């Protein structure tokens, strides 16, 4: 595909130059139709067993997006009390929030307990603290199934090299701690890592996970975690993650489990990226073009403060070039360039040595698949206020869903 934004009619008939003129650049632009479609796809993934998808809001916690998630009927998981409070603020009732923290202070646990929010504990010591705070209570425990996966070592969250979850050999000890405080472990969760494009690691982990789950009696739910990938190389033909194949395989694993464990279990997943990634692009402006030691650089206002994934993980985001509001297609000629930002670091590169259509000053750069871990990982580094986020509605109207920060925001806390 030469242009994703054309193919899916991303701007719904709007001229991206008008959006850039009205909201400035850089700006995050979301498409509501794509977002809702994704939510529905993941919410209806498992059909033959009781199932709930929890949107993992660390990927994107914009209040407007949370409200759409609320309206579409999916549940959410939160990693911090900040995320729990955002969900409450968006209107989520306690029973639709799952708090899955790591190494939290008693105050955070207490907040969740007081607000009747289900908590998952991910170590013996956190379970012990929970037990002291909430004797006789109910909780979940995060299990490490021994299989991990992900696009970078720093996002693999199961297997032998991770701080997360409790390994199988500690199950007897878990039960002892629970018994001591009369806690009922009613749920188990796992999350093997982020971004895999094949169902296999998830299915292997699910099998191990359910084998471990058999050691617990009276479970009400098991949560297989998230991590489903999206095609970041869509311009070169990368295919979608095969959600149908995953659910088909997963349902077989569940059927095996229910043969001896019995039914009455709610199955859950925790997708973050899959829900929001391709519902957003970033528009940025080209302010300089130069050659240095035979390398060509395109200087934009999309710095690592706006999108840190390429700098942090070496992640790939497809890039399109827009001139007078229309994509400039690679078939009109290309050149190898590095698209960089305006931050004082040499690693501030959005696309390194990439073959792109010929780019000139004043063009718009459109970075694809920016909806997940995009704005949620933004920072005001180099004292650049965070950008605005806007949403293109299903009727084509464009609304601001978060204003750009201003200089006043930079000095607000002094």
Q: Which active-site residues does the annotation give?
A: 344
Alpha helices in 8-123 (DSSP H): 16-23, 32-43, 63-72, 81-90, 106-114
Identify the burial level of 271 via C-beta atoms within 10 angstroms of its C-beta, where 0-12 means exposed, 13-18 middle and 19 or more buried: buried
85's CB contacts (< 8 A; 6+ apart) are: none
What span, in angstroms and rounded, lies between the C-alpha atoms of 87 and 97? 8
Cα angle for residues 220, 221, 225 (degrees, 5° grid)? 165
Least distance in angstroms from the C-beta of 213 to ligand LLP: 17
Shortest Cβ contact with ligand LLP: which residue?
272
Residue written as tokens 């739910």?
221
Of 208-216, 264-272, 327-335, 357-365, which segment contacts ligand LLP by CB under 6 A?
264-272
Q: Is the Cβ of residue 270 or residue 320 nearer to ligand LLP in the bound state?
A: 270
Binding mask 173-202 for ligand LLP (x = CB under 6 A): ------------------x--xx-------
Site for ligand LLP in 32-61 (CB under 6 A): 56, 58-59
CA distance 292 to 311: 21
- Provide the angle, in degrees to the nearest 10, between the axes of the packed helices 124-133 and 106-114: 50
Neighbouring-strand partners of residue 142: 189
Q: What tokens does 80 get?
A: 């911090």
Near ligand LLP by CB under 6 A: residue from 273, 285, 317, 384: 273
Site string for ligand LLP, 210-229 (x = CB under 6 A): ---------------xxxx-
Query: Which one among 64, 83, 270, 369 touches ligand LLP, defined by CB under 6 A?
Result: 270
> Quick one: tokens of 403?
């204003």
DSSP state of 240: P
Cα separation of 226 and 16, whole Å? Answer: 33
Nearest C-alpha neighbor of 37 from the set 243, 270, 238: 243
How far is 210 from 2, CA to CA, in rounded Å? 43
Residue closest to 270 by CA, chosen among 212, 317, 206: 206
Alpha carbons 232 and 354: distance in angstroms, whole number: 14
The verdict on 155 binding ligand LLP (CB under 6 A) reads yes
CB of 393 to ligand LLP, least distance (A): 25
For residue 75, state whether it binds ligand LLP (rule: CB under 6 A). Answer: no
Tell me if 279 contacts ligand LLP by CB under 6 A: no
Q: Which residues in 367-406 contact ligand LLP (CB under 6 A)?
A: 372-373
Q: Residue from 207, 309, 317, 384 that binds ligand LLP (CB under 6 A)?
A: 309
Distance in angstroms (rounded) separating the CA atoms of residues 100 and 109 = 10
Taking residues 116 to 145 in sequence order and writing x for each that binds ligand LLP by CB under 6 A, - otherwise, the string is ------------------------------
Compute the least distance from the CB of residue 287 to ligand LLP, in Å: 26
What is the per-residue binding string for ligand LLP in 90-119, x denoting contact by CB under 6 A? ----------x-------------------
Of the ranges 38-46, 172-180, 213-221, 265-273, which one interacts with ligand LLP (CB under 6 A)? Answer: 265-273
**Least distance in Å: CB of 311 to ligand LLP?**
11
CA angle at residue 207 from 206 to 210, to 5 degrees?
80
Give φ, ψ of 254 to 5 degrees. Answer: -65, -40
Question: Least distance to ligand LLP from the beta carbon of 80, Å?
Answer: 12
Residue nearer to ligand LLP on the CB measure, 209 or 228: 228
CB of residue 108 vs ligand LLP: minimum separation in angstroms?
15
# residues contacting ligand LLP (CB under 6 A)? 21
- The residue ranges that bind ligand LLP (CB under 6 A) are 56, 58-59, 100, 155, 157, 191, 194-195, 225-228, 270-274, 309, 372-373
């Amino acid at each position: 595909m030469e242009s994703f934004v054309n193919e899916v009619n991303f701007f719904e008939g709007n001229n991206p130059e008008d959006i850039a003129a009205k909201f400035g650049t850089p700006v995050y632009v979301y498409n509501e139709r794509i977002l809702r479609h994704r939510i529905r796809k993941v919410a209806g993934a498992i059909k033959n067993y009781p199932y709930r998808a929890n949107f993992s809001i660390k990927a994107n916690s914009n209040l407007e997006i949370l409200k759409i998630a609320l309206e579409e009927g999916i549940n959410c998981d939160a990693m911090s009390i900040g995320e729990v409070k955002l969900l409450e603020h968006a209107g989520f009732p306690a029973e639709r929030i799952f708090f899955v923290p790591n190494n939290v202070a008693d105050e955070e646990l207490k907040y969740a307990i007081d607000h009747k929010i289900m908590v998952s504990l991910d170590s013996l010591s956190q379970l012990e603290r929970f037990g002291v705070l909430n004797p006789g209570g109910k909780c979940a425990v995060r299990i490490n199934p021994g299989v991990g996966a992900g696009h970078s070592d720093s996002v693999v969250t199961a297997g032998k090299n991770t701080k997360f979850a409790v390994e199988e050999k500690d199950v007897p000890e878990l039960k002892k701690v629970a018994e001591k405080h009369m806690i009922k472990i009613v749920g188990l969760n796992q999350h093997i890592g982020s971004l895999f494009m094949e169902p296999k690691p998830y299915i292997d982990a699910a099998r191990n996970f359910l084998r471990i789950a058999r050691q617990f009696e009276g479970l009400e739910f098991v949560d297989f975690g998230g991590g489903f990938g999206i095609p970041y190389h869509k311009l070169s033909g990368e295919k979608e993650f095969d959600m149908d194949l995953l659910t088909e395989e997963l349902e077989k694993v569940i059927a095996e489990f229910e043969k001896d464990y019995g039914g009455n279990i709610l199955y859950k997943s925790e997708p973050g990226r899959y829900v929001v990634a391709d519902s957003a692009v970033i528009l940025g402006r080209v302010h300089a073009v130069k050659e240095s030691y035979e390398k060509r650089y395109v200087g934009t206002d999309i710095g690592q403060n706006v999108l840190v994934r390429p700098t942090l993980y070496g992640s790939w985001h497809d890039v399109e070039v827009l001139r007078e509001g229309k994509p400039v297609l690679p078939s009109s000629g290309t050149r190898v360039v590095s698209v960089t930002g305006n931050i004082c670091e040499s690693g501030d590169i959005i696309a390194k040595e990439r073959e792109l259509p010929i780019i000139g000053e004043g063009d718009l750069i459109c970075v694809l698949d920016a909806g997940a871990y995009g704005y949620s990982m933004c920072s005001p580094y180099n004292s650049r206020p965070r950008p605005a986020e806007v949403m293109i509605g299903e009727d084509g109207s464009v609304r601001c869903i978060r204003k750009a920060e201003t200089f006043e925001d930079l000095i607000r806390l002094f």
